[in-house]
Amino acid sequence: MPFVGLAQFFRRDIPALTPGPDGADLVQIFRCPFNHGPYLERRYHLRWRRAAEAGRAERCLATPPEVPMLRWEHELPEPCVLHPEEVDTYPWAEDDTLPASLIAGIDAWDDAQAAEHGPEAPSYQYDLSIPPGWRVGGFPSWASTGPMAINCESCSTPMRLLLTAGSDEMDAGSHSWLPLEDRDPSLLGKATIQGGPSVAQPTRLRFGRDRDLHLFTCPSDPGHPPQWVLS
C-alpha cells in the first residue's frame, strides 16, 4: 500500500538545512495510511533524495498511486505550498533544557508580565520560544510530555530536530506568531484567527490531541535511522 506524502522541501529554500546522506538536498516525509499495533500507532518514513535526480521521476509514474480509503478526513493532507520564513527560536524552558538560573529569570519575567498585563500578557513559552505549526529545525516543543533526551540508536549521539509537524498552524496562546494578515484588527489583546480552519489548519492533518510530531536525525551520520516523537 503506498504511503501518503506529508511534506517535501529543498535545501535551496532552507539554507540552514543540514545535507542528507551523500549530499542529498531534497527531503520527503511520508506516513502509512493505516494504524499499527495494539496502540494504533502511525508509521512514518523519511526519504532523502538529490533534487537534480528527482526531476526524472515524472517519467516513471504515468498514473500516481491512488490514495486508499481513509477512516477520517484529517488523515488525508490538504495540498499546500510552503513559503519558508526564517525566525529566531529559543529552547523550551523546563527541567535542564536551560540553566536553572536562566529558567528562574524567565519565570520571574513571566510573573511580572502577568501582573502588569493580566490574562493578555505575553509569555516566554508561547510568544518568544517556539512558534506553533510546521517548522524546519529549531527546538522541539515539549508541551505534552516534558523535555526528553533523544539520542541516536546507532551511535548514541544527541539527535537534531529536522522537522516539526503541527496539527494547528496557529493558536490563541501564541499571539506574537500570528501573521498580521490573519488577525482581526478590530479586537484587542489575543487576536482572533480570521479565515476559519483553512487558515488555522491548512494541512488538515492531526497528530494527536494538542500534540506535535517531531522528526529527529543524527548530526554525525544523517543515514542513521531517524526518530519520530509525539509531544
Q: For position 55, what pLDDT does the model report? A: 67
Instruction: Convert the pLDDT of each residue in 22-46 to its tens digit.
Output: 989 999 999 998 888 887 788 999 9
Distance CA 205, CA 195 (A): 17
The whole model's pTM is what? 0.89
Distance CA 110, CA 121 (A): 8
Rg (CA), the chain: 19
Instruction: Convert the pLDDT of each residue in 171-228 to its tens digit.
Output: 767 778 888 888 887 776 666 777 777 888 889 888 877 689 999 999 999 999 999 9
Percentage of residues of the chain with pLDDT beyond 90: 45
* Under 8 Å between Cβ of 23 and 50: yes
Q: E strands along the chain, which residues? A: 4-10, 26-31, 44-49, 135-136, 160-166, 212-217, 227-230
H or E stretch including 47?
Answer: strand 44-49
Q: Measuring CA to CA, which residue among 171, 178, 94, 174 is closest to residue 128? A: 174
Q: Measuring CA to CA, which residue among 186, 184, 229 is closest to residue 208? A: 229
Q: For position 58, what pLDDT does the model report? A: 59
Residue 62 pLDDT level (bands cut at 50, 70, 90): low
In this model, does residue 57 exceed pLDDT 60?
no
H or E stretch including 101?
Answer: helix 100-117
C-alpha cell at 95: 527541567
Distance CA 91, CA 130 (A): 7
Distance CA 89, CA 27 (A): 22
Name the amino acid, one letter, at 30: F
* Eight-state DSSP code of residue 221: -
Rounded average pLDDT over 39-67:
78
Instruction: Convert the pLDDT of each residue in 65-109 to its tens digit.
Output: 777 778 787 788 888 888 888 899 999 999 989 999 999 999 999
